[in-house]
Amino acid sequence: MAVKKKGAPRGKTSSAKTPLLILSSSPHFHSRVSTQRLMGDVLIALIPAVIAATVFYGPRTLLMLAVAIAVCVLSEYLARKVMQRPNTISDLSATVTAVILTLNLPIDMPLWQLALGCVAAIIVVKQIFGGIGQNFVNPAMTARLMLVTSFGSSFTRYSTPDFMIKHGLVDSVRSLSEVDAITSASPLTALKAGPAGVASAPSIKDMIFGLHSTAAIGETCTIAILIGLIWLLARRVIKIHIPLAFVGTVAVLSLLFSGFDFTFMLYQLLSGGLLFAAVFMATDYTTSPLTNKGKIIYGIGLGVITCLIRFWGNLPEGVSFSLILMNIFVPHIDNWTRTPIFGQKEAERLEKEAQG
Amino acid sequence: MSDKLPSGILRIVENNHGGVSPEHRKNTAGMKETSLPTPETVKIPMQMHIGAPCEPLVKAGDTVEIGDRIADSEAAVSAPIHASVSGKVKRITEIRNPADGGLVKAVEINADEEQKWRQDIKAPEIHSREDFIKAVRDSGLVGLGGAGFPTHVKLDIKAPAKADLLIANGAECEPYITVDDYCMQHQSDDLLAGIAACLKWIGIERCVIAIEDNKPEAIRALAEKIRSEREKYKAVDVMAMPADYPRGAEKVLIQNVSGRHVPLGKLPADTGCLVLNVTTLMFIGQYLRTGKPLVDKLLTVDGSAVGKAQNVRVPIGTRIGDVMEFCGGFSEQPALIMMGGPMMGLALSSPDYVVLKNNNALLALTEDDFIIDKEQECIRCAKCLDRCPMYLQPVSLMRAVRAGDAEKLQELGVMNCMECGSCAYICSAHIPLVQYIRHGKKILREAGGK
């Protein structure tokens, strides 16, 4: 790219040290936003949920996180190596998958099962389809479903947070156990009985602060999840469309289902993986639609399928399956919801006027 | 259009879709104009505008004076070219067109000592619309905001299209560049005269001078001038706009100022709006006063590798290296030299290119000043969709280009991209989306689409 002038140089500084110049295509400036920064922001947004999980379930949370991150990052590194593709562990997406998957699992999940889930998420769901940006379903959620179907027994032991036992807060849980002593003491199971189940669920206040038993350690504390949401919105990592449409649809359908029982609706929103998934998993870039309209349709779809499973299905929770099902629709939603190009509506109106 | 402030300045309140906010870096704002001493030689290319290239009217050995018409074309879309220095034509040579790398003819003139204008230059007499359009053509004027479209063609709005609003584009939304700002502050008489002539001869009722609010001096100067002579300029208003990019893009500006959308496949003139850059309008006023054709340009020379940033007046055809040298040479090793602003400007392979009519800036940046990161995989963050002022889907276009899918490119409207660069600026995966899109346009053209 260094250009030498024919003949004698003009003998002046600028010609004398004609440098090698970059010939890039415009624009020559960049906002310096990067995948790494966005993923870093997601990790920061997950910190409150990690702290809450550690407080409620004890240090094993951190052990699980460490194992998951190590296995995910190593899987990503090795997969890229074997496929002879550029190394991508520095974009932090594997770390995000590790943290989200862990927070979706129960506290006493055997570590080898956790590791297996991590390998499935990174290698089977993500790398085999081409790595970041190419997977058509959410890696963490797919891995969770794989673990649920393979090691169902690990998920039926809904455990009571250590924190509650230590502080003598287990009464409400005990009473729940009596309602349904065989399977679990999860609020969602209690709600399976319809609005009547509300009576045997923990108080709304306990639900918000996280003083109740859950299947997954990250679902516990509503406040921690909302702090994460605020961070993601403030940093413009995600938009509100998907979480709002998702949670809003569940709220409306719960009201309709229960004959406008407001308490039942609140329990539906605060129970299970709904909020965690709405904030951290449904908003996954790769597996959600591009346009705002598409995001709203996607969120509504998630809400509808979640409610169908929760109200009429055999399973207590429908968030996981709704997410996977809606992931598959994303390319179609993208096609249906393309925004008209600037001036397209005006051009169509002119055409109509010309015809009629 | 929004409410009128007491000072008589209109203000746009709503934010338009898309766009980005690069740092303004208007380091040269408020600086005095400097003049480049006459260079030893100039090489004036025969193509400095959109349209047909000109043919030289002079040959080696001819003596020329400043303002002599040295090249012209019969084509409808073209603009004559004038000698920017006086002296002797050394030869008709060929130089590279920085836009496409192709060779264009150029007239090389060795400058003499005296540097005199041709004697018979006088202000043109205008009695009709035709006279006016011919005068603008004779002046050699092209769009000075950067596009370089021959101004007389733009003014000659063919019926049934009719303009009712003239928009004087003083947005100057590219970082660094301050020549329009300078023009609005210091050449407001010529600017307003140019506006008045366009309103009168083209038969337009109103003019809005649209300025980004990072140029408060220009806004104040023009608003005060208009207010002090309200009767004379009663058809003209000043409008302040939020300073973000690409506020000055023609379709965006029309929508901002008038609320009208240019229908897909139609021209801006079809909305009744005529958009001209403020420096272009100022030049019309100046030409009607003096009769001196377009032979020099005020350029913002700036960037981290430039010794002394300034706005310098330069004869057209001057070697860029000579301009840089006048501005203190390179203070540091430049990694990127370009014509125009950093968002849409053209990277140059050497300082041997020459200053063109439509240049408004020369920038030289050091390596630390910009980043060219490796292209990564798209994560579908959809930031490019949010930022596209034309509501296109850069990510989908990129995928269609990779697949070589001309049909899909047509469906996605690739040709409507104005290459403002907002998508690539914001892309988290650092994908050169504009480059993909340019390639996509080529794929579609080769497949016979449009």
Q: For residue A14, give the nearest of B329, B372, B424 by CB distance.
A: B329
| B430 interaction partners in chain A (CB closer than 8 Å) | 30, 34
| B426 interaction partners in chain A (CB closer than 8 Å) | 31, 33
Residue A25 to residue B438, Cβ atoms within 8 A: yes
Better pLDDT: B133 or A57: B133
Where residue A160 falls among pLDDT bands split at 50, 70, 90? low
Where residue B369 falls among pLDDT bands split at 50, 70, 90? confident
% pLDDT > 90, chain A: 62
- CA–CA min distance B95, chain A (Å): 12
Note the pLDDT tens digit of each residue in B75-105.
999 999 999 999 999 999 999 888 878 899 9
Which stretch of DSSP H or E encloses residue B80?
none
Residue B261 to residue A22, Cβ atoms within 8 A: no
Distance CA A245, CA A250 (A): 9
Q: For residue B263, give the nearest of A25, A26, A350 by CB distance.
A: A350
Distance CA B341, CA B338 (A): 8
Which pLDDT value is given to residue B147? 80
pLDDT reading at B5 higher than 60: no
| B438 interaction partners in chain A (CB closer than 8 Å) | 25
Where residue A304 falls among pLDDT bands split at 50, 70, 90? very high
Q: Which residues 6+ apart lie within 8 Å of A39 measured at CB?
A: A91, A92, A93, A95, A96
Residue of B nearest to A236 (CA): B383
- CA–CA min distance A63, chain B (Å): 29
Residue of B nearest to A349 (CA): B263
Residue B371 to residue A32, Cβ atoms within 8 A: yes
Q: For residue A29, give the nearest of B334, B343, B432 by CB distance.
A: B343
- Residue B404 DSSP SS3: coil
Q: For residue A35, give the nearest of B175, B345, B379 by CB distance.
A: B379
pLDDT reading at B11 higher than 80: no
Average pLDDT over residues B315-326: 96
Which pLDDT value is given to residue B13? 55
| A97 interaction partners in chain B (CB closer than 8 Å) | none
Which pLDDT value is given to residue A318? 87
Q: For residue B347, give the nearest of A5, A10, A23 by CB distance.
A: A23
ipTM of model = 0.88
Average pLDDT over residues B207-228: 93
Q: Which residues 6+ apart lie within 8 Å of A160 measured at CB?
A: A170, A173, A185, A213
The answer to whether A316 and A189 have CB atoms below 8 angstroms apart is yes
The DSSP line for A65-95 is HHHHHHHHHHHHHHHHHHTT----GGG-HHH
Which pLDDT value is given to residue A8? 36
- A-B contacts at Cβ under 8 angstroms: 188
- CA–CA min distance B341, chain A (Å): 9
- Residue A244 DSSP SS3: helix
Burial class (CB in 10 A: 0-12, 13-18, 19+), B408: middle
Note the pLDDT tens digit of each residue in B129-177.
999 999 999 999 999 988 889 999 999 988 788 899 999 999 999 999 9
Residue B336 to residue A25, Cβ atoms within 8 A: no
